[in-house]
Amino acid sequence: MLRLRDCHNVEDFRRLAKQRLPGPIFHYIDGAADDEITRRRNTAAFETCDLVPNVLAGVEEIDISTTLMGRKIAMPLILSPTALQRLFHWQGERAVARAAEAAGTWFGISSLATVSIEEIGASISTPKLFQLYVHKDRGLNQAMIARCKAAKFDAIALTVDTIVGGNRERCKRTGFTSPPRLTLRSIASFAAHPAWAANHYLRERFELSNLKDHVGEGSKIALSVADYFNTMLDQSMDWTTAEQIRAEWGGTFCLKGVMSVEDARRAVAIGADAIMVSNHGGRQLDGSRAPFDQLAEIVDAVGDRIEVICDGGIRRGTHVLKALSVGAHACSGGRLYLYALAAAGEQGVTRSLANLREEIVRGMKLMGKRSLAELGRDNLRWR
């Protein structure tokens, strides 16, 4: 049986999360689309690239801070927005927000968050990102943007790769829904994890806080995430929609889910400030390329005109260093902190971020680099 003190890396937290969560909840975090080829590829891609260090560089003092989307952060790793966090641990987004603030980095919340825009806006001073799903209900879209303005969020990220829900077969097998549907099978799984069940059913009522006043699905009406995407999101969304949302928001604007050079160039053309090179953690189009594999050609095409974030597959500090050496401005990920949240709440997320920070710092010193600006492709070799 693992404990928090035994968790020295993301995989350790994954194993502890599996111990502590009912099967349907764990497999929602861990699973992906179809045969999950892309999920595995996202991390494996980093293994095709080797680091070539420099020595005798005088690295007693190094600086891993950077500026991203106009805000200075303490390390080049941000917490990508993810849905349904109070299903994984009763502290949910509150825990992740506090951990991100302690680490001095960006924290993003999802449209499908379980804590409100207003609460997160008031609770932390570090940079805040809101991830927008474009719903068929235009009034809902406008309301979320207005609430982000009022709560002084620093940026909006429009997710562009969920035009339909991915085929998440683990969720089909386990019967995962939001909120969890009680069946004989799920009750047995919940009963085998009494601490999770007590916290979920005896504490604050589960809800999708930013949607509940507009739709019942996901808060009161149990629905799979794929069904939610397929029935509630606007499948007519196009580049004109994205440009209109950027104009309505009027602030720092990011597109999440860009994977091609053509789309990266169009993001520049509509005035986006940043793009997240992302395949949604392999949860949408299985068989697509890994973000790291696409990074170089996207950076070469637009990296001098827009900030490029490598999102997905990050499990080690050396993965961050490889992406930055290619030319990414920063990296982001979801599972790297969701496993930790599920395993141990705020303490888990704080420890996971501390582990990753230590790996980045140690890697920088072993690479002979005193600042992120010194990283470059001269220190990489592809197999």
CA distance 368 to 364: 6
Q: Quote the tokens at residue 330.
A: 């920063």
The residues that bridge with 275 in the sheet, in sequence order, are 255, 308
DSSP of 79-113: E---S-HHHH-TTHHHHHHHHHHHHT--EEEETT-
CA distance 307 to 217: 35
Three-state secondary structure string covering 25-60: HHHHHHCCCCCCHHHHHHHHHHHHEEECCCCCCCCC
Q: Quote the tokens at residue 369.
A: 């680099």
- 3-state SS assignment for residue 369: coil
Tally Cβ neighbours within 10 Å of residue 162.
22
H-run or E-run covering 145 = helix 138-150
Catalytic residue among 135, 193, 280, 329: 280
- Has 8 been annotated as catalytic? no
Q: Catalytic residue numbers?
A: 280
